[in-house]
Amino acid sequence: MWRQSGAHTLLEPLLGAVLCLPLLVANAAGPQAPADICDLYTDQRVVAIGDVHGAYEPFVAILRETGLIDARDRWIGGSALLVQTGDVLDRGPDSRRVIDLLRKLERSAARAGGAVYALLGNHELMRLTGDWRYVSAGEVAAFRRGDSNGADGFRAAFAATGGYGRWLMGHAAIAKINGMIFVHGGVSPSVAPLGCRGINAAIGTELEDVAAGRNSSAALGDDASGPLWYRGLATEPEDAFASSVDTIFQNLEASGMVIGHTVSPARIATRFAGRVVMIDTGMLGGEFARDGTPSALEMRGTELTAIYLGGRREKLTTPHRSSSTPRPQSPR
C-alpha cells in the first residue's frame, strides 16, 4: 500500500478492474469535480497553474497577474476556469494559506459562473498517507495545537476525517477540458488505456481505502507510471518516444496534455510539437528551484499563452486539434 518511493510496476489486472468502476467514485468527485470533468467543453478562458509547494505570495501574485483575483484576493475571473495541477503542499511554509485560498476561490468562482479545479499531486497523496518526508517546519507550525511544535494539529488536519484531509479526498487526479488533459505528473502508455474517467475512478477507490484503513490492492497513486508520479512525457527523447505519445493521446481521446511535477525553470516549456506543456516553473524558488518563477498557462480556444509577472506574455505552439467545434457547456 502506497510505497513511498513511487517506483513499483502497475499490475495488468488493474485495467480490467477499473473499467468496471463507475465514472467517478464519490471521493474523487467532490464539489469541484463534476461528472463531466473528463468531458468538459467551454468557450471561456482556462488558466492552469502548476506546483505551488507552499509559495503563497508567488501564487497570489500570478493569480493577480492573470486577472483571476483582485488586490484583496477576491475572485474577479467571472466565468473563467482555473486548474491547479497539484502539489500545493510540502517544501514551502505556507501551504495552509494556499489551501485556504483555493477553498475560498472554489466557492466564489462557482457563484460567478466559473470554476476552480484543484487536482491531486503526489504530495497531496503523500500527506494523506502519512508520508512527511518533505513537510517543512513552517507547515507544521501553521497547524499549531496541543503541543509546542504543532504536530498534533497537523496530523488531525490532514487525517482523512480532518478538515484539510477531507478537502483533499474530494478532489480528482485528472481533467479533460476542450480536449486537453490536465494532470500532475503525466499519463504513461501503460495507464492511458484506463482513460480519464478510469484514472479518476482508480485513484478515488484508493482514497476510499485510505479513509477506511484498508490496504490498496493496486496503488496507482503511488506507482512510478501512475498519473501523480510519471515523468516520461517530460524526460523521454522526443524522437524515440513520439509513437508512444501518439498512442497515449489516442487512448485518452485528447489533443494535448498539461503537466506539472517536473520543473522547467524560468519558463513554461513544450515538447512533442507542442502537445505536452510543462507548467511547473519552480514557483517556490530558492534552493528548490534556483531559477524558479511564478507562471500560468492560458488557453483560449486553441490558443495557448504563457503568462509571467510584470506583463510578460509568450505565445506557445498549439497542438493539433480536431476540426470539430467543441460544444460549450457550463463549467460546473
Give tens-digit pLDDT for 109-161.
Answer: 999 999 999 999 999 999 998 888 999 999 998 887 545 455 788 889 999 88
| Predicted pLDDT at 145 | 59
Query: What are 50-99's pLDDT values in tens digits?
Result: 999 999 999 999 999 999 999 999 999 999 999 999 999 999 999 999 99
Q: Is the pLDDT at 1 greater than 80, yes or no?
A: no
Q: Is the pLDDT at 311 greater than 80, yes or no?
A: yes
DSSP bridge pairs for 295 = 308
Query: What are 99-108's pLDDT values in tens digits?
Result: 999 999 999 9
| Predicted pLDDT at 327 | 53
What is the third-level CATH fold of 13-315?
Purple Acid Phosphatase; chain A, domain 2 (3.60.21)
* pLDDT above 70: percentage of residues in the chain: 83
Query: What are 259-296's pLDDT values in tens digits?
Result: 999 999 889 999 999 999 999 999 998 878 888 899 99
Least confident interval from 159-163, 175-179, 315-319: 315-319
Q: Which residue has the higher pLDDT, 154 or 306?
A: 306
Mean pLDDT over the full length of the chain: 86
Q: Is the pLDDT at 6 greater than 50, yes or no?
A: no
